[in-house]
Structures are given as C-alpha cells and as structure tokens.
C-alpha cells in the first residue's frame, strides 16, 4: 500500500519538515583538499573583485594565483571522479557485446587507466626535474609548487584507479558492464 504523504504545512499553518541526516563519511581526503583549494580560489577572486572594482587598484597577483588555484582544484578533484568511477565513459556498446568480450574490454579499460595515470605521474615528475629553477610570473615562487600539486593529483588518481580495478576484479564486473550500479554498491 502507499504510505500517506508527509504533510509539509501542519494544521497550525507552520512548516514541519525535517532534513535528512548528512553523511560526510564517503568524502575522500582529496575531496576535502580540493574543496579547500576551491575556497581559496573563491577568496582570491573575491579579493580581486574588491581591489579592482571597489578600491579601483587591482592586485596584480590575484589573477595568476586564481589560475593556479583552479588548476589545483581540478587536478586534485579529478581523483574524486576516479574514486566514484564517474568520468565520461561510453557503456552503450557493452550492452550488445558478448559477456566475455565485455568483461575483457572492461578489464582493458581499467588497465589502460592505470597505465595512463602511472605515465602522467612519471612525466610530471620528469618535468618537475627539468623546470627546477622556473619561477611564477608575478610572484617569486617556484612553479614546481603548481606542478607538485598536479603530481599529487595524478598520484591520487593512480591510487584510486588501482582501488577501482581491485573492486571490479572482486565484483566480477565493472560499471561499464552494469551501468545501473555505482562504486558504492557492494
């Protein structure tokens, strides 16, 4: 049978709504770090707005730092997408493939993802070695701070892709093969 609909406005004319409990336990460490970079980005852009339009004396450093904060937010935050396995993917063809072929292709996707992130970690590290003395344009800080954050993001994506592949192996299927599932499903 149907449960009776919850009354939002009570007989007394007041709203009676209770929020669901918020569970932050699934948020990963890199999710919190990315959120921190996002807030720093917001504060930097707000400061830039105030100095430019209120004080009519724009702070020159804010544009460069805002760009680097956006880079940090994206690269570290991308690890959250890897953890949830919800980056752009095409699962249409998996519906029509034989089950064994679909399984093999899904395992290949996991393997290629791991190799890709391992290569990006290595290449970012190599680039940091070559650009050791480069400085930021306006602020006298090494560019390797920015590349180090990108390296951290790629390394986090590598670790998370290894975890996702392990989960897929344990389950016996991936989200590509069963798009109705999520990484949270057991």
Q: What is the pLDDT of residues 5-56, one digit of tens each?
A: 666 777 777 777 777 788 888 889 999 999 999 999 999 999 999 999 999 9
In this prediction, residue 6 carries a pLDDT of: 65
- Is residue 118 one of the residues assigned to a domain? yes
CB contact at 8 A, 33 and 76: yes
pTM for this entry:
0.83
Over the chain, what is the mean pLDDT? 90
- Is residue 1 one of the residues assigned to a domain? no
Write the pLDDT tens digit of every residue in 159-185.
999 999 999 999 998 888 888 887 777
In this prediction, residue 3 carries a pLDDT of: 59
Q: Number of structural domains, the chain?
A: 1
- Is residue 111 one of the residues assigned to a domain? yes
- Is residue 15 one of the residues assigned to a domain? no
- Domain housing 88: 29-171
């Amino acid at each position: 049978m149907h449960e009776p609909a919850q009354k939002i406005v009570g007989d007394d004319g007041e709203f009676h709504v209770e929020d669901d409990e918020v569970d932050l336990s699934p948020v990963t460490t890199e999710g919190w770090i990315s959120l921190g970079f996002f807030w720093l980005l917001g504060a930097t852009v707000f400061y830039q707005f105030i100095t430019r339009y209120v004080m009519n004396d724009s702070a020159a450093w804010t544009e460069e730092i805002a760009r680097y904060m956006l880079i940090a937010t994206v690269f570290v935050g991308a690890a959250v997408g890897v953890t949830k396995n919800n980056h752009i993917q095409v699962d249409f063809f998996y519906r029509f493939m034989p089950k064994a072929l679909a399984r093999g292709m899904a395992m290949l996707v996991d393997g290629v993802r791991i190799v890709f992130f391992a290569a990006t970690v290595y290449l970012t590290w190599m680039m940091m070695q070559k650009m050791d003395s480069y400085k930021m344009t306006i602020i006298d800080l090494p560019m390797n701070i920015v590349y180090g954050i990108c390296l951290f993001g790629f390394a986090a994506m590598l670790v998370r892709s290894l975890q996702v592949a392990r989960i897929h192996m344990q389950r016996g299927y991936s989200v590509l093969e069963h798009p109705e599932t999520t990484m949270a499903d057991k």
